Each structure stands twice: as C-alpha cells, then as structure tokens.
C-alpha cells in the first residue's frame, strides 16, 4: 500500500509528459488554428481531423524531427513546414475561395507577378528566413526511421503519380465520400493534404486516359453540324465579347448604401434594368478559368491543371473562335496584360484566334496596335484606354476588309488587385457605407463608376460603326476584396448560395440591350451561336441556358470538355 502514492505520482508524470509532448502540442495547435481561421473567413475546421489527416501530419512531423539536430528549438523548427502548408491553404482560400491544388504550385510566379512590390518582398523574406532556418537545422543520419520515412513518402507520391486509379480506389474506400460540388466541404471531411493528393491523383488519372477522347465521334459530329450551320448563314454579323477583370456591380450589395449612384448615368441609360447574372467558375482570381469557359462553352473542371489554359500547347482544338473561323470569320484577341500571363499566347492560338494583340510595352517584337497609355498611380491599363484603341482599330479594319465578318475578343486588366486608382485623374466621388468596412471597397465602387462610363462610350461607338452586331460585357470573376467574409456580411446578391460566383453580364444585340435569365459563363458560346443563326442553333442543339438553372448538370459537359482538352494538349 505504501507504493500506491509513488505509482500515482509516476502515472501522473507519465500523463504530464504526454500532455506536454511536442506531438500533442502540435495537434492542439492545429485544432485551434483551423477553428480560429474559420471564424475570420478561412477554411472550415476539420471535422474528422483524427481520421487520416492528423496521423499523416504527425508522421511527417516525426520524420522531420529525425532529420534535424536536437536543440531546444527543434520542436518549433520542425513544425514550421507543416504550419506553413496549412497557412498557404488558408491564404489561397481567403483570396480565391478555393482549395489549393498541387498543380497550381507552378502558377505561383504568375500570381506573384500581380502582387504589389511590398507584398512580394515580405513574402520572400518570410519564406526565405523560415526555409533557411529549417535547412540549417538539418542533419542527415541514415538510420532505419529515416529510411522508412523516406520510403513511405516516396511510395505515397508514386502511388498518386503512377498508379492514380489504385490510389483513388483506396481513398474512396477508406475516406469519407468526396463532395463533388465542393472541394472545401471535402477538405473539411477528409483533410486538406489528403484532398490535395486526391485531386492530383484525379488529374493524373484523367491525363492517362486522354487518348480515348481526341477523336470522340459523338462530339466531333456535333461540331461538324455546328460548323455546317454557321457556314450556310447568308448574313454573318459581327461579335464583340469584352471580358472585364473583377468587374463588380456595387448595387448587388444589399448591405451597402452610396452617396451617389455607382453606375454612370450614360451606362444606366443604355442597360437600365437589363443587366443579367452569370456564374463564374472562380472567385477572387483565376481569370484564365473564366476565359476558358466563355471561349470553349464547357465548365472549367480543372481536371488537368489549376488553369485549363496552362495545358494548351497551341494545337488546334474546338472552341468558339475555331468554329467561327470555319464560317469565314476573322477572329482576333486583344489582351491588356502580358503575353506570358496564364499561357495566353498558346491558349488563344489553340482556341482558334487568327491574331492576338498585347500592349507594345509588354510585347516587344510582336505586331500590335495597343499601348497601355498613362498608368501612373494605377499600374494597370484603364478600360477606357483599352476600349477606345480597340474601337479605332476595328473601325479601320472593317473599312479595309469590307464584307468580312469578325469576332472581336477583348480581355481587360483594370480593376485587378490591389485596386489602385489615380485619384487625380479619377477622383473618389462615391462613398460606400455598410455594417463592416472593407478597405478595398471604396476604390472598387468608384472604379465601377468610371468603368461603366468607358463601357457606355464603347457601346455607343460600336452602335455607330457596327449597328447590326452583338456586344457582350462580362465580368471574369468578383474581386477578392478582404475575402468571402465581406460578401457575406454585406449581403452580396441577397446572400444566394452561389453568391461568390455571381457576376454581371450585359448583352447589346442589334443596338438594343437584352436581358437573359441567370446563366453560366460557359453558356456564352451557345448564346453567340444562337444569335448569329437567328435562333436556329438552339432549335437543333441543346442550349442549357434556356433551361432552369437547377436542371443544368455540369457533368453533362464532361465528354465535350475531355475532347477539347485532349486536342489542346496534343
């Protein structure tokens, strides 16, 4: 009996050692971190943390401890890579509203290219210091735990890359069901790292099956029928499609009030009560995804890359410009930013554009009519500058090529993060008030006023030189602002379920504004083809933009998507 107190004391010490163990502390920190981040707009906390995600993270943590020199800072140093990975997941979600995918790591240089200098310097310093500290603490000891750990990690990576179907089978048998419509829900259920591995395995699995889709007879028959229809048209009208960077309509925030109408009166006069809503595939960034949809007519599933444009090689595929080429159209693309951004040169060529133009400041040696103009205090080319140069160009082109129909595609850049304005040229004349303050809102509200003024002038110009044509003005995606929380708190789009993807689109057909019910970005090619054929296209094809939104299933486009990407990757 005298030994009982000592046994309890020994037991208590053992429990205490476990409780202060670096592994328990890391697990508790990750629990607390994910919960706190969810409260400030980050990804949701993991509901089934202990299932497979936490064992994986703790196994990696153990391995990193085996690779580093023992010291009083070892537990903290070896936790840095794991915490940094989780922080990156949240940063991507806060900015873009989506789960990071492995393939998107190669797009980091492009994302860095649009950050302000101070942010780039701060990020490089932080990552550089933490990585340097970790590397300096490494020591390579070839013992059994180090070998087993390396082999385990290598086996997992090889399974994902070389045997993706086997990995997917094992994942689906052991993990919770993947939510097809939400990466974020799936990450909440199964873990962020595991869902990243799952998405990479899915991408590899699809890539290995590409050859089966390059000559899909069903899809090719549909394309042949459409091309024949477009070729047979007696009257071929022109199309002007303008994709606008982060073009958010402030009036859709029901939780905001304004000192002045943020819609310019000239624009309001043209489109009053005729604005439509289109659902973009992305939020806060990823313009190339929106471009892919409006040019291809299929959803941007992201099966092969974080951005579909990244896999385009310049090989011909079956997008809207290619279909119009077959009908004798001249197809031209004008982009207000850099040629190497999101692989746009290859993407535009593969989609079927016969010519593409970029500002001469970014595209030395390429033929172009474009110049960025004065970007003092704003960094990005103003929409008015872009549209007026384009209007002058197509007016002259039309005179020199009488009777040749054309597709005029424009991609803007003004309004991109960090939403800079030169207030000497464009003063802040509108004040916005709501239940919360978002530091970026004042600029985006005022930018909308000046941008709608420029758009009104462009539309009036098109009406004067090309009255029997179609003009479409569509936002690529919503600006990230201070994250999804801003949109929720200020009740954007009435709090609709898909509010983060609901963007403005305006149609101007034959000199008149036209309203459409809510649609998707990938409906734009069908709308264009139906317009050009005077309704015959939708009389012979299934046009899903005419169906109620809830009846449209993205999976219906899977076959066409695979065929388009398979040919683009040749």
> pLDDT tens across 182-236, in order?
677 888 888 889 988 988 887 788 777 776 677 778 888 889 999 999 999 989 9
pLDDT per residue over 354-380, tens digit each? 999 999 988 877 889 999 999 998 889
Cα-based distances in Å from 270 to 412, 461, 473: 21, 13, 13
Q: What angle do CA 250, 252, 254 make, to 5 degrees?
A: 105
DSSP designation for 253 = B
State how far the Cα of 404 lies from the Cα of 331, in Å rounded to an integer.
Answer: 11
Q: Which residue has the higher pLDDT, 161 or 104?
A: 161
Q: Which domains does the chain have, with CATH numbers?
A: 10-208 (no CATH), 214-568 (3.40.720.10)
Residue 140's CB: how many other CB atoms inside 10 A? 6
Q: Which residue has the higher pLDDT, 133 or 399?
A: 399
pLDDT per residue over 464-505, tens digit each? 999 999 999 999 999 988 888 899 999 999 988 889 999 999
State how far the Cα of 28 lies from the Cα of 426, in Å rounded to an integer.
Answer: 50
pLDDT at 109: 65
Average pLDDT of every residue of the chain: 86
φ/ψ of 174, rounded to 5, equals -105, -25
pLDDT per residue over 221-280, tens digit each? 889 999 999 999 989 999 999 999 999 999 999 999 999 999 999 999 999 989 999 999
**All residues at 6 or more sequence positions from 507 whose CB lies less than 8 Å from its CB, including other chains:** 274, 276, 470, 471, 472, 513, 514, 515, 516, 527
Q: What angle do CA 128, 130, 131 make, to 5 degrees?
A: 65
Closest to 311 measured CA to CA, from 346, 358, 351:
346
Burial class of residue 489, CB neighbours in 10 A (0-12, 13-18, 19+): middle
Cβ pair 305, 204 in contact under 8 A: no
Q: Which residue has 């089934």 as its token pair?
A: 48
Is the predicted pLDDT of residue 540 greater than 60, yes or no?
Answer: yes
């Amino acid at each position: 009996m005298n030994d009982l107190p000592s046994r309890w004391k020994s037991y208590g010490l053992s429990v205490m050692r476990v409780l202060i163990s670096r592994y328990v502390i890391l697990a508790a920190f990750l629990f607390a971190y994910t919960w706190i981040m969810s409260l400030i707009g980050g990804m949701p906390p993991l509901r089934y943390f202990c299932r497979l995600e936490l064992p994986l993270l703790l196994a990696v943590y153990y391995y990193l401890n085996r690779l580093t020199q023992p010291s009083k800072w070892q537990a903290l140093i070896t936790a840095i890579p794991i915490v940094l990975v989780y922080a990156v997941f949240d940063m991507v979600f806060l900015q873009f509203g989506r789960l990071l995918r492995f393939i998107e790591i190669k797009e980091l240089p492009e994302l860095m290219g649009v950050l302000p200098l101070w942010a780039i310097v701060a990020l490089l310093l932080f990552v550089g210091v933490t990585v340097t500290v970790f590397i300096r603490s490494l020591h390579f000891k070839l013992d059994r735990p180090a070998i087993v750990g390396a082999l385990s990690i290598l086996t997992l990576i090889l399974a994902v890359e070389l045997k993706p179907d086997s990995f997917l089978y094992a994942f689906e048998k052991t993990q919770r069901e993947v939510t097809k419509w939400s990466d974020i829900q799936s990450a909440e259920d199964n873990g962020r790292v595991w869902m990243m591995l799952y998405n990479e395995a899915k991408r590899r699995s699809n890539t290995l099956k590409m050859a089966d889709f390059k000559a899909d007879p069903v899809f090719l028959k549909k394309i042949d029928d459409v091309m024949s229809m477009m070729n047979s048209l007696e009257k071929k009208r022109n199309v002007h499609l303008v994709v606008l960077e982060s073009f958010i309509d402030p009036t859709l925030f029901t939780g905001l009030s304004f000192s002045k109408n943020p819609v310019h009166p000239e624009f309001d006069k043209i489109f009053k009560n005729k604005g439509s809503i289109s659902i973009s595939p992305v939020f806060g960034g990823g313009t190339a995804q929106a471009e892919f949809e409006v040019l291809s007519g299929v959803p941007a599933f992201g099966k092969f890359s974080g951005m579909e444009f990244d896999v385009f090689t310049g090989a011909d595929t079956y997008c809207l410009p290619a279909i119009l080429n077959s009908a004798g159209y001249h197809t031209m693309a004008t982009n207000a930013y850099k040629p190497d951004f999101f692989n746009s040169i290859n993407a535009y060529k593969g989609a079927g554009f016969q010519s593409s133009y970029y500002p001469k400041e970014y595209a030395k040696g390429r033929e172009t009519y474009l110049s960025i103009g004065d970007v003092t205090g704003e960094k990005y080319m103003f929409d008015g500058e872009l549209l007026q140069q384009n209007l002058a160009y197509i007016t002259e082109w039309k005179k020199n090529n009488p009777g040749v129909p054309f597709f005029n595609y424009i991609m803007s850049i003004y309004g991109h993060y960090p939403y800079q304005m030169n207030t000497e040229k464009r003063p802040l004349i509108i004040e916005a008030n709501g239940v919360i303050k978002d530091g970026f809102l004042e600029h985006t509200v005022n930018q909308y006023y000046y941008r709608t003024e420029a758009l009104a002038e462009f539309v009036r110009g098109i009406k004067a030189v090309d009255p029997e044509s179609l003009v479409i003005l569509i936002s690529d995606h919503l600006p990230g602002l201070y994250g999804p929380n801003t949109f929720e708190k200020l009740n954007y789009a009435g709090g609709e379920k898909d509010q983060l993807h609901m963007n403005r689109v305006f149609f101007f057909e034959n000199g008149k504004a036209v309203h459409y019910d809510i649609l998707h970005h990938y409906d734009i090619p069908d709308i264009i083809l139906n317009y050009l054929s005077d309704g015959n296209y939708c009389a012979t094809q299934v046009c899903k933009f005419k169906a109620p939104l809830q009846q449209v299933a993205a999976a219906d486009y899977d076959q066409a998507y695979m065929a388009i990407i398979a040919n683009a990757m040749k």
